[in-house]
Amino acid sequence: MQLIKIFYFGFALLFSSIVMAAEAKEEVKDSNKKKEDVKEEVKTETKTDGGFEIYRSQDDRYWFKFHGIAKVDAGFFTSDFEDEQQEFPNGTNIRALETNFNGGIGEDLSYSIVLGFETGTVTINDTFFTYSGFKDTEISIGQIISPFCLENANSSKWIPFMERSLPVIALRPCMGIGANFNTWGKHYGIIFASATVPHGQNKDTAIIHHRSDKLTHTLRAFYVPLNEDNKVIQIGASGVYADTNATFRDNSPNIDGRRFASRPEIKARNTPNTVDSGNRLLVDHYDEFAFELSGQRGPFVIGAEYLQAYIHRWFNPGLHFYGWHAQAAYVLTGESRIYKIKNGSYGQIIPKGPYGAFEVAARYSMVNLNDEDIHGGKENNVTLSLSWYINQNLLIMANYINASIDPTQALGDNFNPSPNHRHLNIFGLRSQIVW
């Protein structure tokens, strides 16, 4: 499998290099015909401001960029009960270590390859080709991220907290192989994706139990009545319809199916899930909906979302999981986040002063995974955050999380919820570098 991944990556780089070389030769030939005995050299230029980028000075259709990110986290848990401290050990974690390869192949075609490194293995994350030949429209094919909800659209590099909120982590679909269609204007955006999202974690290669992959369809639309001079008002909605396999190929119940789960908005090396539906739900298909409202005025950004999932099960009662979050962030030094109408997201803060930019943020989040015979748990979190953007590449962040966790099978066994209510105080630290 690793050889296939390495071959795929090497082929993409080799293909783009061949195209660039061929085009360079053609330009030299044309120049020789027009100007006798004069050889015109195709000049290239490089940039090192945020990664390494090489491109043609005369023609920016062909380019290549190498960049990446590293996040190093630490989490500290306190509680009034000794058993809870044993369940949630303090620890550190390399939260992310990724290398990105992006490039342009002609005027309308580009590619993106993201490789992640974790515990000695290499994983392929979002990896796709994009065609942008139509005005304000992009079509991507490859391994893509579901465009479900606003917070999932915001890059994890630049959200004002160490992790996304409880309901988004628990309910969002995983990435999968498929296609993504995106079109936008000054005051709107529509994104549709269809992909074969994996819903199981079965690693048995000797006996393949799972049936054929099924499709997950996602639609997100948003309207932006105000979009000018760092002033934004955005209203949107998302929907998901996903087929899954309730049984294995031998018609036995699928005990390795769709799972809804979340950690307490922090991930040290040994942090367990605090809410978890388990993967024995026997899901036939499920529907999800999200409603979003957000806005920006200069250095101030607010947002709120409500998410819910309706799970249709095989010979079992249906389930209803839901959650919501609301948050506000303010940049004390006056900078504004970069708003991107293309996917309706709030992005990076670029410091203007010699001492960087400082941001404070607060969030309340809740998720409920209890329904019928499933005791996935209910959790309410309050999170406070302080971020120091030293420059556009280096970030230091501190979070305080007050987590209130109702009885959950995530902290018991697969069938019986843990009898104890848990109340945790969590302190998190992150250092992040983007190159």
pLDDT in tens, 163-182: 999 999 999 998 899 999 99
- Position 204 scores a pLDDT of 44
Contacts of 66 (CB under 8 A, 6+ apart): 51, 52, 53, 99, 100, 101
Same domain, 218 and 364: yes
Count how many domains the chain has.
2
pLDDT at 193: 97
- Specify the pLDDT at position 415: 56
How far is Cα 13 from Cα 227, in angstroms, rounded to an integer?
38
Residue 195 domain-assigned? yes
Residues 211-249 have pLDDT tens digits of 677 899 999 999 999 999 899 999 999 999 998 876 666
Q: Are residues 29 and 65 in the same domain?
A: no
pLDDT at 270: 85
Does the pLDDT at position 9 exceed 50? Answer: no
Statement to judge: residues 81 and 168 lie in one domain:
yes
Between 263 and 417, residue with greater pLDDT: 263
| Same domain for 66 and 14 | no
pLDDT at 421 (0 to 100): 79
Higher pLDDT, 20 or 335: 335
Helix, strand or coil, per DSSP, at residue 378: strand
pLDDT at 14: 38
Residue 222 to residues 19, 167, 294: CA-CA distances in angstroms?
Answer: 38, 20, 11
Q: What is the pLDDT of residues 110-152, one digit of tens each?
A: 999 999 987 667 888 889 999 999 999 999 999 999 999 999 9
Which residues, other chains included, contact 416 with Cβ-Cβ below 8 Å and sequence gap of 6+?
375, 409
What's the pLDDT score for residue 259? 87
Q: Is 262 contained in some domain?
A: yes
**Would residue 208 count as lying in a domain?**
no
Q: What is the pLDDT of residue 279?
A: 78
Residue 336 within a domain: yes
Three-state DSSP state, 361: strand
Give 210's pLDDT tier (boundaries 50, 70, 90).
low
Our measurement of the distance from residue 179's CA atom to the centroid of its chain's CA atoms, rounded to an integer in Å, reads: 17
> Token pair 């209890």 is at which residue?
370
Same domain, yes or no: 66 and 172:
yes
* Least confident piece of the model among 13-17, 66-70, 86-90, 155-159: 13-17
22 and 154 both lie in a single domain: no
Residues 137 and 185 in one domain: yes
How high is the pLDDT of residue 15?
39
pTM assigned to the model = 0.83
Is the model more confident about 299 or about 64? 299
Range of the domain at 2: 1-36
Is 271 among the domain residues?
yes
326-369 pLDDT per residue, tens = 999 999 999 999 999 999 999 999 999 999 999 999 999 999 99
108 and 152 both lie in a single domain: yes
Q: Is the pLDDT of residue 295 over 90?
A: yes
Q: What are phi and psi of 18, to 5 degrees?
A: -65, -45
Report the distance separating Cα 183 and Cα 172, nearest Å.
22
Candidate from 83-87, 234-238, 303-307 with smallest mean pLDDT: 83-87
| Nearest of 68, 67, 23 to residue 44 by alpha carbon | 23
Domain of 246, CATH number, reads 2.40.160.10
Q: Does one domain contain both 281 and 244? A: yes
- In 145-187, DSSP assigns E strands to 176-185
Together in a domain, 94 and 150: yes
Strands (E), 278-406: 283-297, 300-313, 319-331, 339-340, 345-346, 357-371, 374-389, 394-405
Residues 326 and 390 in one domain: yes
For residues 28 and 155, membership in a common domain is answered with no
Instruction: Name which of 10-24, 57-71, 168-182, 229-243 the model is least confident about.
Output: 10-24
Helix (H, G, I), strand (E, B) or coil at 171: helix
- Number of residues that make up the chain: 435
Smallest Cα–Cα separation from 143: which of 259, 51, 262, 5? 5
CA nearest to 393, candidates 157, 96, 200: 157
